[in-house]
Amino acid sequence: MQTVAKLIDTSLCIGCKACEVACQEWNDQEFTLGTFGGTYQTKPELEHNFWNLIKFNEYETDGQLSWLMMKYQCMHCQDAGCMKACPAPGAIVRLDNGTVDFNHDNCIGCGYCITGCPFDVPRLSPTTKKVYKCTLCSDRTAVGLEPACIKTCPTNCLTFGTRTDLLRKAEDRAVELQADGSTHAGVYNPQGVGGTNVIYVLKDASNPESYGLPKDPTIPWTVSLWKGPVKLLGSVIFLGGILGTFFHYIRFGPKLEEEHPDD
Amino acid sequence: MIDRFNIKERFIHWMVAICFIYAALSGLAMWSRHLFWIATVLGGGETVRALHPWGGIIFALALGFMFRNWASQMKLDSDDKVWLKMSHRYAMNDEAGVPPSGKYNAGQKMLFWMQSAFTLLLFLSGMILWFPEIMPRTLRLGAVLVHPLAAIGSIGGIILHIYMSAFAVPGSLRAMTRGFVTPGWAKAHHRKWFQQTTKIEDERAR
Amino acid sequence: MASLAATFGRGAMTNGWTDVANADVVLVMGGNPAENHPVGFRFVMEAKRKRKAKIVCVDPRFTRTAAVSDCYVPIRSGTDIAFLGGIIHYSLRKGLYQANYVRQHTNASFLINEGFGFDNGHFSGWDEAKNSYDKSTWQYELDANGHAKLDPTLEHPRSVFQLMKKHYSRYTPEKVAEICGCTAEEFTKAAAIICTAAAEDKSGTVLYALGWTQHSFAVQLIHAAAMVQLLMGNIGMPGGGVNAQRGHANIQGATDMGTWNTLPGYLKIPRANMASLDDYLKANTPKALRPNSLNYWGNTPKFMTSLLKGYYGDNATKENGFGYQWIPKAGETENYGWGYMFERMLDGKIDGLISFGMNPVANGPNTTKMLAALSKLKWMIVAENFETETSAFWNAKKLAEKYYPATGEPSTIATEVFLLPASCFAEKDGTFVNSSRWLQWKDAALDPPGDAKRDQEIIGQLYTRVRKLYEKEGGKAAEPLMNMQWNYATPLSPSLIEVAREVNGRDLTTGKQLNGFGELKDDGTTLCGNWIYSGSWTEAGNNMARRGQDDPTGLGLYPNYSWSWPANRRILYNRASSDVDGKPWDETRAPLRYRNARWVGDTPDYKADAKPDAYGSFIMLPEGVAKFFAADLVEGPFPEHYEPVESPVENALHSSVNANPMAKIFHAPMDKLGTSKDFPYVGITYRLTEHFHYWTKNTKGSSELQTNFFVEIPDGLAKEKSIKNGDPVRLSTARGHVDGPALVTKRFRGLQVGGKTVYQVGVPIHWGFVGRVKGPLINNLTASVYDPNSGTPEYKGFLVNLEKI
């Protein structure tokens, strides 16, 4: 099965939040009232029951003001930090179509995925004590439908398709935008996480931080160390300790009282 | 027979031991997918995830008590320093030239300090990992490294500790279960302590 | 809408949403479609993506539309005419206009009477004492046949073209900058982009909404935009037009079906001095002003007679003037617009009010006045899905005392209020008429909950019961009611299918549905509820329910998708998309082509089999062409920059005439106006994408997306006042105040106007004192100041003060 992906062309996003509502509706999320955060953003950040957030950033450069609006959600990384960090077998799975999905029957709620994620996406529910995030509407894609956010987007800012197609489309669009005057336009498909199944076209790809995206996201080195060499070290010490003491016993035996002559 | 550990000491020790074993096993379950079967044995992943921090907290608290009781006895003296230099000889059961020990030998004292330090690290990093939603990301990123490293050290130390007490030095286990040792045992392994205690008893006898 | 009717002949969006995708230039001004019409905005983005269209956004605020535009120019609220006047000046000075179009399809060549002029703020004919204009000098010079004289060379000093050139010579880029507060460079950059549409093969569209209509000179303002579009040759062109985006799902339909001053289909309301049908028809059937004018309104007798047959059925006969005498007549010069209605109510001259899908306490300017006016009523019926501020007005003291300290205690209010639970849009069938003039039939998705009833049932019951009372007890003016035709199968709850068929009209001799208004007759043998909707439900069936997506022209007209008035025409004035000989201005974008002696493509806005040069291209106007010069408007035939009634500066063009001399300002004691001494900042009001009007504060999703009211403040002003993001602030005017947290933003810029910095502060509407989420009603702030043509209040550009609380 081909890897599917979501393309977000930020140059066409009008911040209408239709994707937010579609996400809430399709996923049967409870609607909660918000507190005023001093911006147009619905919530300051993603929540366990709010998986799709448009970030609004006022950004000024050379006296030129831009109001950057960008849909933010799970990036469905090719090399997913959450999967790497997760201890529970079957809790985070990669579907045949490349989607990184959480299986809540297996989730133990340790929250390691939250730390493993370079995009700060998964969120722990205080009631179920499990972690939630965008599923790329795996219940829709499984039957050949596009995710709810894509379906509802009024400006064609969002498109759904195979990753290969969308990458090509994204590159083409970036070239178009460059020709149109956005010289730094480009594709955001960070290689630090092996590329993502959510691909952005940014009008200024040299500065993804201005949109609220990390510049060169990677799985945090401490997480990689923890899940790599440290694990190895642990195995060596545990096995070494058990075997070592066992062979010590065989070679040297116990310390007997008689062996110590009286002085 | 010579009294070695009173009931309070024994109780705290076993409290620490039980909690440690639970925390270690449940921790191991969440550490590697290959060990996740431990979680199944212990009541499932969610239970393990919920109880591990509490096991850890009780362990750390109990260890705190233990620390308060024993810290003063765990200072290394000059003989201990020589003992440490000669520890390979001790390990090979060739104890000629290994200085005699007090109530605790230098190895036991080192284990005490190391376990205390590891526990502090485990406690602090554990608290950070317990609340991923609240704790700052940088702290969490540090904690994911500190917690397993401290656990490795700690479990490694305990493996040694169990071996020494249960297998390598017969008679030790009884000290911690029933509380007393034979004079022979005391004399053989903790001569300075043996001499001290017998002197006290002699004085009492007089 | 009043302006578009005067300029082009019909008061509606000229093109349609799908057509915006054909544009090369999109001027968004007086509207914020990215936020308020996000679904329609997809076609703007399509134009941007596929045609590399340039979007120019002119707005006091850097909006979500501005965020995706290619050129944003900030202007002070209420200075749009100066900006557009500047564009007219720029285009004429640089020769950037479509000369052939202007000559062939507009009244640029028409000559105006001697004596017309403009001096220091007033047009000729101003009568200071009467505060009104004598319009005699504003008329065309006529020949012996009563036809207007022309100068096709456009050189005559009294030609509309030369007068226009002279009038706008004052609107230089520097003057524009001085008035609007942008820089001259920003203005000329925008002007250059807008004027690229002057090329014959380029189209530019104008998208506007309530940011233009809610001024005391709104109609003039829209006329100015229409003039720009005529200069660019953009009317009738795909991707062109002046596109009014309606503020509610069915407000176009509501206007089409009549307002206080129009009957369905924009037939004018009978006045007291028109005693008979003949009088009415004489007064309201225009005469052609050119020999080649098709003058479609010349058919008014057919429309009116058929409408009367619809009202009174068999009771309408030739002998009784088809029942004309039963239609209520408005006083000869009386105005019953919103402002006047509530003024009368406040004066105790109105006993009762039926409020259907309307929330005057929230909608109307100066909430305190609305509350006071309603408390003078004897009774009020509110038919609604939710409790509204209007149905709860008597409890305002308790629910929002902070804002209405002077309002009476509930015990002192004698108005009897009936809140009738009504169904919402999804619970009834019928049509929505969107901005594109599409009548889209919909089915009910579910039944109304509980005791809620559909509107037609509420009306049916009301009618039937009142009629019964009349039968039993008699009463004043019984005839209109007793003679009304109400022959629906279920009189207590007429089916909307029956009503829709009646609105389309039928031939009374054959009993067959009409195919269109071309079949209407003035002899009483046809019946039609609204002539412009004729063709929507023919013998072929319900055309409004069609969902065909075929697009034979390739221009996105979708002729088989729903049904568009008039006559399923998708682009109004499409005859103007080609020159006088029928050659399209742009061969790649011709909605209409003359082939084999017929016009094919879109439904022609022209006689379908007439030669290209037979008639003028604007068939609804007596001139036969579109109007730069529009004497119909009350404050002048050319738009002139007037300051808002409450303005922080003097009019830079004529300080002696600051505001629109014809603006309607009410002077009840609570209609106070402020000065810039006490209220130094400019306030504006607007909608957010997250909410719909005062309605969605009751729904879950919208309340989550935007729970809180806020006050949007420029960061410069916030710094001056040491206000930080989230600090509680109070915004006040001479009428009242609102409190809310500050949203400090760079997107509101301090503007340099007349040598000083003018700050603008904005508040979103949407909140009120009832609902799932609550907040202040922003109309606490606004003034009872109205456009004299349309009667729309000046909700944008009033004086405010800002304090930290």
Structure tokens of B60? 């750390």
Q: Is the pLDDT of residue B1 over 90?
A: no
The pair of three-digit structure tokens given for residue C33, joined into one six-digit string? 């479609």
- Using N-to-C axis directions, what is the helix angle for B137-162 and B7-29, rounded to 10°? 120
For residues B60 and B70, the answer to whether their CB atoms sit within 8 Å is no
**C25-29/C681-686 β-pairing:** unpaired
For residue A14, give the nearest of C41, C700, C705 by CB distance.
C41
**3-state secondary structure string, C452-484?**
CECHHHHHHHHHHHHHHHHHHHCCCCCHHHHCC
Residue-wise pLDDT tens digits, B97-128 = 788 888 898 889 999 999 999 999 999 999 99
* Cα end-to-end distance, chain B, whole Å: 19
Each residue of C236-275: pLDDT tens digit? 999 999 999 988 889 999 999 999 999 999 999 999 999 9
Considering the domain A4-219 in this protein, what is its CATH number?
A: 3.30.70.20
Quote the minimal CA–CA distance from A43 to chain C in Å. 8
Q: Using CB atoms, which residue from A89, A123, A259 is nearest to B33?
A: A89
The pLDDT value given to residue C619: 95
Tokens read off for C211: 């940011």
Query: If 0-12 CB within 10 Å is exposed, 13-18 middle and 19+ buried, where does residue B152 land?
Result: buried
Among residues 60-119 of chain B, which lie with CB inside 8 Å of chain A? 91-93, 95
Residue C245 CA to residue C250 CA, distance in Å, equals 11
Do A255 and B46 lie within an 8 Å CB cutoff?
Answer: no
Whether the per-residue pLDDT at B205 is higher than 70: the answer is no
| Helix (H) / strand (E) containing B120 | helix B106-130
Closest CA of chain A from B148, distance in Å: 7
Residue C304: predicted pLDDT? 97
Q: Is A260 on the interface with B (CB under 8 A)?
A: yes
How much is the pLDDT for A262?
Answer: 45
Cβ-based burial of B191 (10 A; exposed 0-12, middle 13-18, buried ≥19): middle
Euclidean distance between CA atoms B92 and B90, whole angstroms: 5
Neighbours of chain C (3+ CB pairs under 8 A): A
Q: Please check whether residue A70 touches C, CB under 8 A.
A: no
| Nearest residue of C to residue A155, measured between CA atoms | C42
CB count, 10 Å around CB of A228? 12
The Cα angle at residue C200 between residues C198 and C206, in degrees rounded to 5: 50
Task: Tell whether C478 is within 8 A of chain A (Cβ).
Answer: no
3 state SS of C369: helix
Residues in chain A closer than 8 A to B190 (CB atoms): none
Q: Which residues, in sequence order, are bridge partners of residue C803?
A: C730
What is the residue-averaged pLDDT of chain C? Answer: 95
Residue A79 structure tokens: 């090399």
Does C701 sit within 8 Å of A16, measured CB to CB? Answer: no
Mind listing the pLDDT tens digit for each residue in A38-60? 999 999 999 999 999 999 999 98
Please check whether residue A28 touches C, CB under 8 A.
no
pLDDT tens digits, residue range C196-222? 999 999 999 999 999 999 999 999 999
The Cα angle at residue A89 between residues A3 and A6, in degrees rounded to 5: 20
CA C535 to chain centre: 24
pLDDT digits (tens, 9 = 90+) for C462-519: 999 999 999 999 999 899 999 999 999 999 999 999 999 999 999 999 999 999 999 9
Looking at the partner chain, which of A115, A234, A245 has a beta carbon nearest the beta carbon of B148? A234
Distance CA C203, CA A25 (A): 40
The tens digit of pLDDT for each residue in C120-177 reads: 999 999 999 999 999 999 999 999 999 999 999 999 999 999 999 999 999 999 999 9
Asked if A252 and B184 come within 8 Å (Cβ–Cβ), the reply is no
What are the φ/ψ torsions at residue A254 (nearest 5 degrees)?
A: -75, 160
Neighbour tally for C741: CB within 10 Å: 18
CB of C402 within 8 Å of a chain A CB? The answer is no
Q: Is residue A260 over pLDDT 60? A: no
8 Å CB contact of A226 and B148: yes
Query: Over 70: is that where the pLDDT of C709 sits?
Result: yes
Query: B148 and A259 in contact by Cβ < 8 A?
Result: no
When pLDDT is cut at 50, 70 and 90, the band that residue B206 belongs to is: low
User: What's the CA gap between C185 and C768, in Å, rounded?
Assistant: 42
Per-residue pLDDT tens digits for C64-81: 999 999 999 999 999 999
User: Cα–Cα distance between B60 and B150 in angstroms, integer?
Assistant: 13
Residues B13, B52, B147, B161: which is the catalytic one? B161
Tokens 């642990």 sit at which residue?
A234
- CA–CA distance, C85 with C175 (Å, rounded to integer): 10
Q: CB distance from C50 to chain A under 8 Å?
A: no
Report whether C415 contacts C377 (CB < 8 A). Answer: yes
Smallest Cβ–Cβ distance between A69 and the set C46, C67, C706 belongs to C67
Residue C346 makes CB contacts below 8 A (sequence gap 6+) with: C369, C372, C373, C376, C668
Sign of CA dihedral C263, C268, C273, C276: negative
Number of domains composing chain B: 1
Specify whether the CB–CB gap between C762 and C771 falls below 8 A.
no
Cβ separation of A129 and B50 shorter than 8 Å? yes
User: How far apart are the C-alpha atoms of C487 and C499, rounded to whole Å?
Assistant: 10
Q: How far is CA B39 from CA A107, A186, A237, B126, B129, in A?
A: 12, 46, 21, 18, 18
Chain C residue with Cα closest to A59 = C746
- Pair of tokens at residue C793: 């209040």
Domain boundaries, chain A: 4-219, 222-254
- Mean pLDDT for the stretch of residues C677-700: 95
Which of helix, strand or coil describes residue C106? strand
As a whole number of angstroms, the distance between CA C119 and CA A50 comes to 61
Which residues, at least 6 apart from C119, have a Cβ–Cβ distance to it below 8 Å? none
Question: How far is A143 from chain C, CA to nearest CA, in Å?
Answer: 26
H or E element, residue C762 = strand C760-764
A224 burial level (CB within 10 Å; 0-12, 13-18, 19+): middle
Set out the domains of chain C in order of their start, with CATH numbers: 2-249 (3.40.228.10), 664-804 (2.40.40.20)
Closest CA to C484 of C505, C501, C460: C460
**So what's the pLDDT on residue A263?**
42
Asked if residue C417 lies in contact with residue C396, where contact means CB atoms within 8 angstroms, the answer is no
Alpha carbon distances (Å) from B22 to A233, C531, C556? 21, 85, 70
C-alpha B131 chain-centroid distance? 27
Chain C hits for A31, CB-CB cut-off 8 Å, are 700-701, 703-704
- By C-alpha distance, the chain C residue nearest A24 is C701
Rg (CA), chain A: 24
Chains B and C physically touch (3 or more Cβ atom pairs below 8 Å)? no
Name the 3-class secondary structure at C686. strand
Closest A-chain CA to B167: A254
Q: Which of A87, A129, A262 is the closest to B36 by Cβ?
A: A87
Strand locations in A110-220 (E): 123-124, 131-132, 158-162, 186-188, 198-202
Beta-bridged to residue C777, according to DSSP, are none
Strand pairing class (C506-507; C352-356): unpaired
Q: Does B150 touch chain A (CB under 8 A)?
A: no
- DSSP string covering C412-450, please? G---EEEEEEB--GGGS-EEEE-TT-EEEEE--SSPPPT
A120 in C contact zone (CB under 8 Å): no
Q: CB distance from A112 to chain B under 8 Å?
A: yes
Q: Which domain holds residue B139?
A: 2-205
User: Rounded to an integer, what is the distance from CA A52 to the centroid of its chain?
Assistant: 12
Peptide bond into C566 cis (omega under 30): yes
Which chains form contacts with chain A, at 3 or more CB pairs under 8 Å? B, C
Share of chain C above pLDDT 90, in %: 94
Q: What is the mean pLDDT of residues C436-454?
A: 95
User: Shortest CB distance from B169 goes to which of A106, A109, A254?
Assistant: A254
Among A124, A233, A252, beta carbon nearest to B93: A252
Neighbours of C752 (CB within 10 A): 16
Q: What confidence score (pLDDT) does residue C1 get?
A: 59
Two tokens, residue B117:
């330090």
Report A:184-223 residues touching B (Cβ under 8 A): 220, 222-223
CB-based contact A120 B33, cutoff 8 Å: no
Structure tokens at C681: 């900042």
Give the pair of three-digit tokens for residue C172: 């230089």
Which of B42, B8, B31, B18 has its CA nearest to residue B129?
A: B31
B88 is catalytic: no
Model confidence at C559: pLDDT above 70: yes
Considering only residues C408 and C102, tell me which one the structure prediction assigns the higher pLDDT.
Answer: C102
Inter-helix orientation angle C173-180/C80-94, to 10°: 170
Q: Which helix (H) or strand (E) holds C771?
A: none
Region A178-206: mean pLDDT is: 94
Q: Which residues of C touch A32 (CB under 8 A)?
A: 704
Provide the sign of the torsion angle of the four alpha carbons C622, C624, C626, C627, taken in this order: negative
**Measured distance CA(A145)–CA(A138) in Å, rounded:** 9
The answer to whether the Cβ–Cβ distance between B152 and A123 falls below 8 Å is no
Most confident of B156-160, C86-90, C788-792: C86-90
Task: Return the structure tokens found at A230.
Answer: 């440290």
Q: How far is CA C333 from the centre of its chain?
A: 22
What is the distance in angstroms between the Cα of C751 and the nearest Cα belonging to chain A? Answer: 15
Alpha helices in C379-454 (DSSP H): 396-399
Closest CB to A109 among B46, B93, B188: B46
Does B182 touch chain A if contact means CB atoms closer than 8 Å? Answer: yes
What is the token pair recorded at B122? 């485990």
Across the interface, whether the CB atoms of B133 and A222 are under 8 A apart is answered no
State the pLDDT at residue C23: 97
Distance from CA of B61 to the nearest CA of A (A): 22
Pairing of strands C592-595, C537-538: unpaired
Q: Taking CA atoms, what residue in C is nearest to A37?
A: C726
DSSP at C709: -
